[in-house]
Amino acid sequence: MRTLYQFHGGVHPPTNKTQSTRTPIAPAPLPGKLVIPFHQHVGNMARPLVKAGDRVLKGQLIGMPEDGVSSAVHASTSGTISSIGMEVVAHASGLPDLCAILIPDGKEEWVTHTGMDYRAAASADVRLALRLAGVVGLGGAVFPSDQKLRSGKHKIKSLVLNGAECEPYITCDDMLMRERATEIIRGAEIMRFMLDAEEVLIGIEDNKPEAIAAMRQAAAASDDKMEVIVVPTIYPSGGAKQLMRILTGIEVATGVRSTEKGLQCFNVATALGIYRALRFGEPMLSRIVTVTGNVRNAQNFEVLIGTPVNELVALADPLPDTNLYIMGGPMMGVPLPSAQVSVVKATNCIIAASDKLFPPPPPALPCIRCTRCADVCPADLQPQELFWFAQSKNFGKAQEYSLFDCIECGACNYVCPSHIPLVQYYRFAKSEIRALEHEQTAADLARERYEFRQSRIERDKQERAEKLAQKEMAARQPAATPEAAPDNSAQSHIQAAAERAREQAATARPKNIDALTPQQQAEIAEIEARRAKAREMAHPDAGRPKE
């Protein structure tokens, strides 16, 4: 028997899970339209590859992952892209995001797809295949799975598969493990191979006996070392850090990655998505969603990504007094701004809410310092201190008290006798700190740019001054040369050449005057006489003595 450990705190809210586990998973019918956001994952938004009027096939890539952390987006079925634009998405803010509107043609025509042998392929190629298949964590974080399957410098000892599903009302993972345990185990084998992990630990809460039995049977058929471990039912045992603590006793401290401790954690639905992507080449087009709450027929449905929530909950027959829809569970879920928003990869549950099911909270009262919130906090924080710091906007102190270790599980809200919405204060403080850090980063960048510009201007000014000084020095240089000694190098060369010519003429003797006849000598003498006469006439004073 493996020794189990405990994490600090935890609560036992009513589970409300049996309502949606009475019937098997049912495929949701094709909706009238699909609203597919391009940002359904942590990191950068996928870049649209389609435009209005394009016909697409099921599984066709319509959003390309951008640089860094990102993931692909695909057409959930075949049809026509009617528009690309801003639509309200499944987020508590109610803000719009870029989406593709796909009108199905009912043909379910698949794009060509095929699997790959992950054991024979390079690790980088396997991760690229998962990136282009849009596989992300389906436990709520929607972090791209290809990023978590990098074998870094730390040896992974235990791969933890999270099947705890601790939050009330949600049963999608429970039903998935009951019905598709073999595929989950095949996905775990791929992840263990990619990470070179020594063992696979599958944690499931003890209120899921059918899932436990199915997973144990599938794990027994695997050649890998896998162990299905039953953990006590307590919220939030499904948190990654909490489950790893229960199974291994290892505490992942603030600022430390689980991989540094030799651990990596994935959701069971993510394991199935990885298997389908690599075995058959199927991108992540659908997921299991629990529809429960104020409905007549609570059930789990396999839903295409992009299906409008109002069409999905209509399958469970919501009661007339339903006035709100919550995505997720009652502890960590977010109220949807509209029933027209679409199902995304992070949608694990839709709760139809009413005032009868979830009565409005009474007005908040002053904190009575009962410390119940501290007793149940799974991160072992001081919630009442964080509340006061957030309320007074003393964000520096809130960070000193490890605000960002809060997993926003809502356990403190659940036990607070004063009905203080503590988690909302923590979310406010986190968002303000992030905004301040963003502003500080922008200010630092602006200051660096300004300082660089000033240094560049100063450098250019100095260079211009140096060039001007050199020009002035060059202009003053000729004036400093004495006028009595001009540069007569060319004239001196001419005079020297003339002197050499005269010397050559004086010493030269004609070579054709040897053996002359008397007549020839007389003619030469006559010629020389004429030349002398001509020189005398040209320079009459040349032969006179100077006075």
Could you give the CA distance from residue 469 to residue 482 in angstroms, rounded to a whole number? 23
Same domain? 413 vs 339: no
> Which CATH number belongs to the domain containing residue 26 in this structure?
3.40.50.11540
In a domain, 301, yes or no: yes
Same domain? 229 vs 338: yes
Q: Would you state the structure tokens that stand for residue 322, as one six-digit string?
A: 């339903």
Greater pLDDT, 531 or 108: 108
Residue 522's pLDDT band (cuts 50, 70, 90): confident
Same domain? 114 vs 240: yes
Same domain? 304 vs 401: no
Greater pLDDT, 437 or 495: 437
Q: Which of 404, 431, 462 is the last residue of a domain?
A: 462
The tens digit of pLDDT for each residue in 431-473 reads: 999 999 999 999 999 999 999 999 999 999 999 998 888 888 8
Same domain? 419 vs 294: no
Same domain? 305 vs 204: yes
Longest dimension (CA), the chain: 157
Q: Would you state the structure tokens that stand for residue 463, as one six-digit string?
A: 């260079």
Same domain? 200 vs 177: yes
Eight-class DSSP state of 545: P
- Percent over 70 (pLDDT), the chain: 94
Instruction: Please give the C-alpha separations between residue 150 and each of 140, 158, 172, 333, in angstroms, as whole numbers.
Output: 20, 15, 28, 30
Phi and psi angles of residue 66, each rounded to the nearest 5 degrees, phi first: -85, 180
In a domain, 473, yes or no: no
Residue pair 31/104 in contact by the 8 Å Cβ criterion: yes
N-terminal to C-terminal alpha carbon distance within the chain: 143
- Domain hosting residue 283, numbered range: 18-353
Same domain? 300 vs 402: no
Angle at 279 between CA 277 and CA 280, to 5 degrees: 70
Q: Would you state the structure tokens that stand for residue 106, as one six-digit string?
A: 């009912």
Could you give the CA distance from residue 263 to residue 1 in angstroms, rounded to a whole number? 20
Q: Which of 299, 324, 353 is the last residue of a domain?
A: 353
In a domain, 10, yes or no: no
Could you give the CA distance from residue 343 to residue 407 in angstroms, rounded to a whole number? 23
Instruction: Please give the C-alpha separations between residue 390 and each of 234, 393, 405, 424, 426, in angstroms, as whole numbers.
Output: 28, 5, 15, 10, 7
Same domain? 318 vs 395: no
Residue in the structure block whose two tokens are 């059930």 = 299
Same domain? 287 vs 434: no
Mean confidence (pLDDT) of the chain? 91
Same domain? 291 vs 341: yes
Could you give the CA distance from residue 366 to residue 376 in angstroms, rounded to a whole number? 19
Q: Which of 288, 318, 353 is the last residue of a domain?
A: 353
In a domain, 324, yes or no: yes
Which burial class, exposed, middle or buried, applies to 291 when counting CB atoms under 10 A from its CB (0-12, 13-18, 19+)? buried
* Global confidence as pTM: 0.81
Number of domains making up the chain: 2
In a domain, 544, yes or no: no
Same domain? 388 vs 434: yes
